[in-house]
Amino acid sequence: MDEKVRRGRSRRAPGMDEKRHAPHRRGRRVLPVVFALAVLAAAAASCFFFRALNAGPEIPRESSVSVEPETMQAESEAAREEAVTPEMKIQEMTLEEKVLQLFMITPEALTGVSEVYVASDTTREAVHNRPVGGIVYFEQNLKDEEQTKDMLTKTRSYFRERLGIDPLLGVDEEGGQVARISGRAEFALESFPDMAEIGASEQPERAGEIGSRIGVCLSELGFNLDFAPVADVLTNPENTVVARRSFGSDPAQVSEFVNAYAEGLRSQGITAVLKHFPGHGGTAGDSHDGYAQTDRSLEQMREAEFVPFREGIESGIQVIMAGHISAPSVTEDELPASLSYKMITEILREELGFDGVIITDAMNMGAITEKYSSSEAAVKAIEAGCDMILMPENFEEAYQGVLDSVRQGRLTEERINQSVMRILEIKDF
């Protein structure tokens, strides 16, 4: 019996101890919780106090939704503009990349493929190796609207991927006699009369309408540059090269039509190119085939041939094409204008005040290839003051020639930088 009592006590004792000490244990648990809650309450009150002190008047919810995204977008756009400028971009480029910006070539010259109408991995690799300043397309490259859009979109993306800069994507679409797209069944752009007929109408607004309609089509396809309008004044009645392509023989009328056409292109985001300085309208020969000369004096050209170019410069034209016309009465030699320092720098740059991009006419024309190698022609054009070399007969030779001329000191890198800056200023980043 004593044993049972002892066992009973031994079993009850722990229970009795728990009941006796339970209030003290609950007290120990509650106190820390109360203390923590007090600290949190104090912190919340402090936070609210300082927010109220610093926040100022409350902004309505509608205001925060409508204002902040616009502000953020504006700040983002400003940041992008500040982050990428031509000056900053040129600092990132190697000498080779800068020299390549001076060339505008066909997709065939870029890729080595006989006929290009898609932008495949071959084009992508070619762009990676030779990121030139631009590509000019011809009828064989342009099969239909969807194919053209796809090719140009991909090509642009390859250049963006390589340099972060859009290429110049150009075409000869004057309307009338020279047309790569208009009037073709595969494209929606209708055909147009010759510009001589448009000029004879004495309605410059017609030229503006044509420029705008061409601009809409080119922009939708993915182009950003058109080698048009023709700014030549027809001073030689026997001229057959630009007779149908010129707006006429009256300098003031030609100027009015040229500016209207160029503004039509510009209104659709297409860069216009005035051509062919100093004016092809006074020649009898065709520079496509060989030597072409004008006997006009400097004073005569100032009164006629130069007028549309002068007016175009004053209206803000960004690109002028230098023709391969020789003007010995002006330059005192037989150099084509595109290779003449007198014609390009002293007259077009200094006298007429043009500081935009000067691109040569196609350098595979007879007027160039009959007398000069691709290398020498490219170097002489840059020495004359041109910025871009269009379609050299041998692109690789021309590129290497310019590069070697810089390395050997014939051309300075500063001279290359001047041209690259002008080119970058008309491009999208």
Which positions are catalytic? Answer: 288, 361
Tokens encoding 423? 């080119």
Three-state DSSP class for residue 393: coil
Tokens encoding 399? 């590129």
What's phi and psi for 184, nearest 5 deg?
-90, 140
Which residue is associated with the tokens 């027809």? 234
Tokens encoding 252? 């003031």
Q: Report which residue type is found at 295.
A: D
Question: Are 361 and 287 contacting, i.e. CB atoms less than 8 angstroms apart?
Answer: yes
Which residue is associated with the tokens 């204008």? 337
CA 5-6-7 angle, 5° bins: 90
Question: Are 126 and 161 contacting, i.e. CB atoms less than 8 angstroms apart?
Answer: no
Helix H segments across 56-192?
A: 61-83, 86-92, 95-100, 107-111, 121-129, 145-163
Q: In what order do the strands lie in the sheet with 357-360?
A: 357-360, 319-322, 271-277, 225-226, 168-171, 134-137, 103-105, 389-390
User: What pairing do the DSSP bridges indicate for beta strands 319-322 and 357-360?
Assistant: parallel
- The DSSP result for 197-246, as a single string, is HHHHTT-HHHHHHHHHHHHHHHHHHT--EE---B------TT--SSTTTS
How far is it, in rounded angstroms, from Cα 415 to Cα 399?
15
Task: Please state the length of the chain.
Answer: 429
Question: Are 372 and 338 contacting, i.e. CB atoms less than 8 angstroms apart?
Answer: no
C-alpha to C-alpha distances, 416 to 170, 225, 360, 411, nearest whole angstrom: 22, 22, 16, 8
Strand-pairing partners, residue 137, are 171
Strand-pairing partners, residue 170, are 136, 225
How far is it, in rounded angstroms, from Cα 362 to Cα 80?
36
